[in-house]
Chains A and B, each alone.
Chain A
Amino acid sequence: MAAGTLNTHTAGSTRQSATTTETAATQAATSPATPTSTATTETATTVSGHNVSGTTPTDAAAGFVTRGLTRSFGPRRVLRGIDLEAAPGEFVALLGRSGSGKSTLLRALAGLDSEAGGELLVPERRAVVFQDPRLLPWKSVLDNVTLGQRGAAAAERGRAALGEVGLTGHERDWPKTLSGGEAQRAALARALVREPALLLLDEPFGALDALTRIRMHALVQELCGRHRPTVLLVTHDVDEAILLADRVLVLTDGHISLDVPVGLPSPRLRGDEAFTVLRSRLLRELGIDENAAGIHASSAAAPQAG
């Protein structure tokens, strides 16, 4: 952790209380039924080792907490005691170099890794969007979206979710007939239909072409604005992190080496000075010197997201 860096917080300290209250306020405004953040923390489940014990969730957003989270693969210590907290409804982006363990952290939060050490508090209702859409090819798009959902209303909610991602009319299609972007949108619908309190996005746009990615950014922004789950977005794309997140983390050598609120006004433009400054800073944290690598030229040529 770079000690002298401005705005750098130790996870779990007095970090961004402003963001928390702001989010809570927005929630109260948009959905009056949503309990306050104090109430929601009680419904979080403990994921520790194999045991995922928990109570029934009633809330839409509960944030998450990790304490001393560790994970090793053989002699390689990938996560070395991560203390992290996210407020309900907060959009957190996690950056890191390839192999830095960002996906490992996400998998632990998803409950997919029973070998991780430390403590994890996550909401019961979690959903993951993987880098590949991971649709079961032998199920129709709608059946993929409602996979594991029970009850008569499941299909109806599935249709609604497909409508939200703009895939109405594709319900009965086979996944292999969808384009890459459509398949990833179906995966997003599958996550939405679960009404997750915690949405985990594991480089979900990584395999998409640049134009589709821009459309997906807008869609994710819109959907998260509407449903307000807590989001952890794992990505290697600095611009994407700044565009979408309330707060950006950088994972280096198994630690959160940078934890910075984005704090930019809503239509975030890549050309803005604050944007550029933050990008430079994040890239530096990731070990890339823009002046030396000539990054400026290439990112200026990249299309602008609206």
Chain B
Amino acid sequence: MTGSDLTRTVRAPVTGPVIAAAQPRPGLVRLPTRRPDQAARARFRIPRGVERLAGVVLLFAGWQTASSAGWLSPRVLAGPSAVVTVGWDLIQDGTLWSALRASLWRVLWGLGLGVPIGVVLALASGLTRVGDDLVDGNIQMLRFVPIIGLQPLLILWLGLGETAKISLLVMGVAFPIYVNTSVAIRSLNPGYRELADVAGLGRAALIRHVVIPGALPSFLVGLRLATAVAWLLLVFAEQMNAHSGIGYLMIRAQTFFQSDVIVLCLVVYALLGLISDGLIRILDRRVLRWQPGR
């Protein structure tokens, strides 16, 4: 029975599109395929981006409606239009810019000091036994201390000025940079070191041509984490005795029950986070051109 079915299938003429249906057979299941006589499914779909944007628009529309209708008191949450208005006012009188400048400055300091510290420690512990013994154990232990918890100690040591705020950021940045970079250096293909040996590369050349580029993808992941941490810690740092910055603007707004300013500051934080993440992603794409699929 099955045998005769087989024979028939084999004998089928191969000229032109053969649409003869295959008979069901015991033990075989039919997988979904597109039959040649079927047109490719061309069902209309809303583009993904439009759909996503629509979600955001819907949320804002609901929010605006709620506050316009008076369901949301401005004391609790200001509506989008109020936030835009206050944002325009603060831009006009220069308050937003000076706050933004102060915050950006702190984050740049935090990254500018924290990233090199993390990288140097990672190189030291990833490339030398002594460095590994001295650095890695300590950092793995300190890693579990919540950084924000260090704030009182830092204020005790460094006072209420900029140094304490920036130190907090530096520490917050250095950890993810260190962890990601040192793991990458350790897990570098040992064959590459052999290759460097055979090719007669010295230690400096090994670091430059093999170690650093090899650790770069993981370092960039660390950098993205570190930037997120920097913005997060900035909020904390600026809410403690600051006289400038976005966080200070928020704390002041809280005192005067200005929920519109608070929401504005949150939006600014979110935008800053998005922008810095986008910048790192661009960097990522440029630096890691060699990775397939980029």
| Alpha-carbon distance between A176 and B292 when the two chains are bound, in angstroms | 7
Assess A128 versus B290: contact at CB under 8 Å? Given A138-B213, A138-B216, A147-B209: no
Interfacial chain A residues near B292, Cβ < 8 Å? 174, 176-177
In contact, A174 and B198 (Cβ under 8 angstroms): no
Give CA–CA (A99, B195) in the complex, Å. Answer: 22
Q: With an 8 A cutoff between CB atoms, is B80 at the interface?
A: no
Q: B210 CB to closest chain A CB, in angstroms?
A: 7
Most chain A beta-carbon contacts within 10 A, residue among B192, B195, B198:
B198
Closest chain B residue, CB of each to CB of A126: B198
| B289, A110: Cβ atoms closer than 8 Å | no
User: What's the least CB distance linking B287 to chain A, in Å?
Assistant: 9
Are A174 and B289 closer than 8 Å at their CB atoms? yes
Report if B201 contacts A (CB, 8 A).
yes
Number of interface residues of A (CB under 8 A): 21
For the complex, what is the distance from the CA of A128 to the CA of B216, rounded to whole Å?
27
Q: Give Cα A134 to B197, complex, Å.
A: 13
Query: Does B197 lie within 8 Å of A136, measured CB to CB?
Result: no
A188 CB to nearest chain B CB (Å):
14
Contacts of B194 in A (CB 8 A): 112, 130, 134
Tell me whether A147 and B201 are in contact in the complex, defined as CB-CB below 8 angstroms, given that A136-B210, A138-B216 are known contacts: yes
Chain B 276-293 per-residue mask, 1 if CB under 8 angstroms from chain A, else 0? 000000000000111110
Selected contact of B290 from candidates A112, A138, A147, A190, CB within 8 Å: A138
Minimum distance in angstroms from B51 CB to a CB of chain A: 34
Asked if A174 and B197 make an inter-chain contact with CB atoms under 8 angstroms apart, the answer reads no
Taking a contact as CB atoms under 8 Å apart, the answer to whether B192 and A138 are in contact is: no
**Which of the residues A112, A138, A139, A177 comes within 8 Å of B198, measured between beta carbons?**
A112
The answer to whether B205 touches A148, judged by C-beta atoms less than 8 angstroms apart, is yes
| Cα–Cα distance between A176 and B291 once the two chains are bound (Å) | 7
The answer, yes or no, to whether B199 is at the interface (CB within 8 Å) is: yes
B contact residues around A110 at 8 Å (CB): 198
- A residues 164-186 in Cβ contact with B at 8 Å: 174-177
Q: What per-residue 1/0 map shows which CB atoms of A108-145 lie under 8 Å from chain B?
A: 00111000000000000011101010101111000000
Question: A305 CA to B234 CA in the complex, in Å?
Answer: 69
CB within 8 A of A112: which of B197, B288, B289?
B197
**In contact, A134 and B205 (Cβ under 8 angstroms):** no
Residue B273 interfacial (CB < 8 Å): no
On chain A, the residues within 8 Å of B192 by CB distance are 134, 136
> Interface 1/0s, chain B 197-209, versus A by CB < 8 A?
1111100010001
- In this complex, how many residues of chain B approach chain A with their Cβ under 8 Å: the count is 22
Q: Complex formed: what's the CA distance from A45 to B285 in Å? A: 46
Shortest distance from the beta carbon of B64 to any chain A beta carbon, whole Å: 49
> Which residues of B (153-204) have their CB < 8 Å from a CB of A?
189, 191-192, 194-201
Contacts of B131 in A (CB 8 A): none
Bound-state CA distance A82–B214 (Å) is: 37
Chain B proximity of A165: nearest CB distance (Å): 17
Q: Can you name the residue of chain B whose Cβ is closest to the Cβ of A146?
A: B199
Q: Which of A132, A138, A147, A148 contacts B214 (CB 8 A)?
A: A138
Instruction: Report the separation of the CA atoms of residues A213 and B274 in the bound assembly, to the nearest whole angstrom.
Output: 51
Q: A194–B200 Cα gap in the complex (Å)?
A: 10
Complex: chain B residue closest to A127, CB-CB: B198
Asked if A111 contacts B213 (CB within 8 A), the reply is no
Please report the C-alpha to C-alpha distance between residue A120 and residue B288 in the assembled complex, in whole angstroms. 42
Q: Is the CB of B199 within 8 A of A148?
A: yes
Cα distance A136–B289 in the bound complex, in angstroms: 13
A231 to chain B, nearest CB (A): 15
Q: Which chain B residues border A147 with CB–CB below 8 Å? A: 195-196, 199, 201, 209
Which chain B positions have C-beta within 8 A of A112?
194, 197-198
User: Which residue on chain B has the smallest CB distance to residue A147?
Assistant: B199
Least CB distance, B3 to chain A, in whole angstroms = 31
| Nearest A residue to B195, CB-CB | A134
Chain A residues whose CB sits within 8 angstroms of the CB of B210 once the complex forms: 136
Contacts of B196 in A (CB 8 A): 147-148
Chain B proximity of A85: nearest CB distance (Å) = 22
Per the bound structure, the CA–CA distance linking A11 and B46 in Å amounts to 77
Q: Which A residues touch B213, using CB under 8 A? A: 136, 138-139
Q: Which residues of B contact A190 (CB under 8 A)?
A: 199
Check A137 against B290 for contact (C-beta < 8 Å).
yes
Q: Are A174 and B199 in contact (CB under 8 A)?
A: no
Per the bound structure, the CA–CA distance linking A175 and B201 in Å amounts to: 20
* Interface pair B191/A111, CB less than 8 Å apart: no
Q: How far is the CA of A126 from the CA of B197 in the complex (A)?
A: 11
Bound CA span A110–B194, Å: 10
| Chain B neighbourhood of A111, CB < 8 A | 197-198
Min CB distance A79 to B, Å, is 19
State the B residues within 8 Å of A (CB).
189, 191-192, 194-201, 205, 209-210, 213-214, 216, 288-292
In addition to A127-B198, A130-B191, A136-B195, 19 A-B residue pairs with Cβ atoms within 8 Å of each other are A110-B198, A111-B197, A112-B194, A112-B198, A128-B198, A134-B191, A134-B192, A134-B194, A134-B195, A136-B192, A136-B213, A137-B291, A138-B213, A138-B214, A139-B213, A147-B199, A147-B209, A174-B289, A176-B291
23 A-B residue contacts at CB 8 Å? A111-B198, A112-B197, A112-B198, A130-B195, A134-B191, A134-B194, A134-B195, A136-B195, A136-B210, A136-B214, A137-B291, A138-B213, A139-B213, A147-B195, A147-B196, A147-B201, A148-B200, A174-B289, A174-B292, A175-B290, A176-B290, A176-B291, A176-B292
Of all A-B residue pairs in the complex, the 7 with the closest CB atoms, nearest first, are A148-B199, A138-B213, A174-B290, A138-B290, A176-B292, A128-B198, A147-B199
